[in-house]
């Protein structure tokens, strides 16, 4: 008999009430309940499991499971699929960061380049024109290199994104 599919989500924090002996954190969200089961992951490691409550509207909940975890903490019972998903997420995050950095550099470089004449300054003097040409010759190779880097990073990002999607799909299906 195949294992039951388990949906796993992370809900955003809705409200926080701080007390001298702890805090009440309320998270809200919606998710499908598959075969009466939900799984709530990535809860704080030091959380008192006796203080956890689940309220469900619109469905019959037969079982919920708490997984106390800390980001980056290796767990002995962590499945290879969870490990692969975390690695794929780190790879995607790193490549996206590099890509956004290159895109920002390219956008800033574009702002430095020559401008077309405007209403306020309809013509450029010969000296200004020569300066713009020299400046453009300096910027063009740099811009071309950034464009190449962006294309390479976009291609590199496809594989980790596909792997991440496959891992997340498999985790959501309970594999």
pLDDT in tens, 101-147: 999 999 888 887 666 667 777 777 788 888 888 888 888 999 999 99
Q: Long-range contact list for 137-140, CB < 8 A, 24+ apart?
A: 139/109, 139/112, 139/113
Q: Identify whether residues 46 and 17 lie together within a single domain.
A: yes
- Over range 67-82, report the average pLDDT: 61
Of 69, 50, 87, 81, nearest to 10 by C-alpha is 69
Same domain? 90 vs 20: no
Shared domain check, 111 and 149: yes
- CA 135 remoteness from chain centre: 37
Q: Which of 13, 1, 59 shows the shortest CA–CA distance to 35?
A: 59
Confidence of residue 2 (pLDDT cuts 50, 70, 90): very low
Is it the case that residue 170 has pLDDT exceeding 70? yes
| Averaged confidence pLDDT in the chain | 76
Asked whether residue 91 falls in the same domain as residue 64, the answer is: no
121 CB-contact burial (10 Å; exposed 0-12 / middle 13-18 / buried 19+): exposed
The total of structural domains in the chain comes to 2
Residue 36 has pLDDT above 70, yes or no: no
> By residue range, what is the domain housing residue 13?
8-68
């Amino acid at each position: 008999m195949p294992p039951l599919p388990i949906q796993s989500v992370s809900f955003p924090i809705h409200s926080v009430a701080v007390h001298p002996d702890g805090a009440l954190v309320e998270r809200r969200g919606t998710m499908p309940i598959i075969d009466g089961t939900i799984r709530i992951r990535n809860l704080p490691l030091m959380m008192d499991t006796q203080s956890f409550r689940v309220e469900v509207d619109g469905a019959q909940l037969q079982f919920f499971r708490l997984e106390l975890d800390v980001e980056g903490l290796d767990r002995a019972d962590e499945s290879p699929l969870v490990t692969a998903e975390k690695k794929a997420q780190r790879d995607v995050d790193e490549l996206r960061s590099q890509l956004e950095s290159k895109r920002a550099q390219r956008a800033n470089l574009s702002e430095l380049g020559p401008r077309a004449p405007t209403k306020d300054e309809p013509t450029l003097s010969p000296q200004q024109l020569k300066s713009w040409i020299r400046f453009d010759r300096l910027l063009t190779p740099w811009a071309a290199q950034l464009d190449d880097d962006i294309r390479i990073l976009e291609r590199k990002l496809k594989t980790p994104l596909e792997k991440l999607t496959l891992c997340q799909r498999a985790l959501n299906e309970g594999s």
